[in-house]
Amino acid sequence: MSTIFGHSTTGYEVVSAFHSQIQDRACLAVVVTGPTPNGIGASTALSLARGNPSAILLVGRSPAKYTQVADGIRAINPGIKVKTYGVDLGSFASVRAGAAQLLAENDRIDVLINNAGVTSHALEKSADGIELNFATNHIGHFLFTKLLLPTLCKSHNPRIVNLTSSTHAFASGDYDDYNWDNREYVWMQAYAESKLANIHFTQYLAAHGNGIVALSVHPGTIWGTSIFDTISEEEHQRAREYVASLGIKEKTVEQGASTTLVAALDPALETHNGAYMVDCQVAEFDCEAARREDLSEKLWTLSEKLIGEPFRCV
């Protein structure tokens, strides 16, 4: 794993460093969820385009918004296959329909980047009756990954990158009350619980994925993206002041894409399966709950129950 990357590294710098590895893989096809313009996912896709992969497939609930990103990719490299797919990760029906369309039109996936995420200031439920942070940030990606896995496993080097957050440090791992039926709803903790779930999902995939490399990534603190649209300006400012008081440096979206791309492209990470990454490097978890294998297994069982079918990684 390269030590030349760090907090200020941009996605383009990562792709430039691994350009030869992308070319060696001949037909690198990458799926990115949540590529909202001016967000981390869009920056990830646009940076990746400079490495000349064969396909970048953009997935999210508002495909019309992604036209700008798709056009940007084509402007960088007209030879890349670019497609957009409408998938609302908060709806099982939408996930199944979108995954079916994507698989019908693409017979190769090498890297799946589960980037999409939401925050919900008020307690909201998904179309399937699941608390919205948990539904979108974890369960929707759990089902989407399950549906894409057979195609992903055809790759010689399949890789799954799950975006989490350092806020997982505030999570309890109380998966028994994933729907917040027995405690007062606190939006930041609900978000944190969903981000801890991203880590436990990654760990289970790494332990049972039969050769799949799965990594979880904290992209950094990036303000101004659409993920904060549901919170008030006052709360937004309070959060920024709190983060600044901890001495945490902010990042641009271009810098925010870098750790994701290291996780997606660095061949040295094959020996770090299941790792958590911060500032382009393997890092320690921010809470004890993230290290608990029993919670990883508990989450997997719960997730299978919620989607109504088993998810086998073999």
Which residues are bridge partners to 112 per DSSP?
A: 31, 160
Please confirm, yes or no, whether 191 is among the known catalytic residues.
Answer: yes
For the chain, what's the residue count?
314
At 246, list the tokens.
């901890």
For residue 285, give every residue at least 6 positions away whose Cβ sits within 8 Å of its Cβ, in sequence order, or none.
168, 199, 276, 291
Q: Which is the catalytic residue, given 12, 66, 178, 191?
A: 191
Q: Are 191 and 166 in contact (CB under 8 A)?
A: no
Q: For residue 293, what is the enclosing H or E element?
A: helix 293-307
Q: Residue with structure tokens 């490299």?
A: 77
At 307, list the tokens.
């989607």
Q: Are 278 and 166 in contact (CB under 8 A)?
A: yes
Q: Are 78 and 105 in contact (CB under 8 A)?
A: no
119: burial class by Cβ within 10 Å (0-12, 13-18, 19+)? buried
Q: Are 153 and 210 in contact (CB under 8 A)?
A: yes
Rounded to an integer, what distance in angstroms lies between the CA atom of residue 50 and that of residue 192? 33
Q: Are 118 and 225 in contact (CB under 8 A)?
A: no
36: burial class by Cβ within 10 Å (0-12, 13-18, 19+)? buried
Active site residues: 191
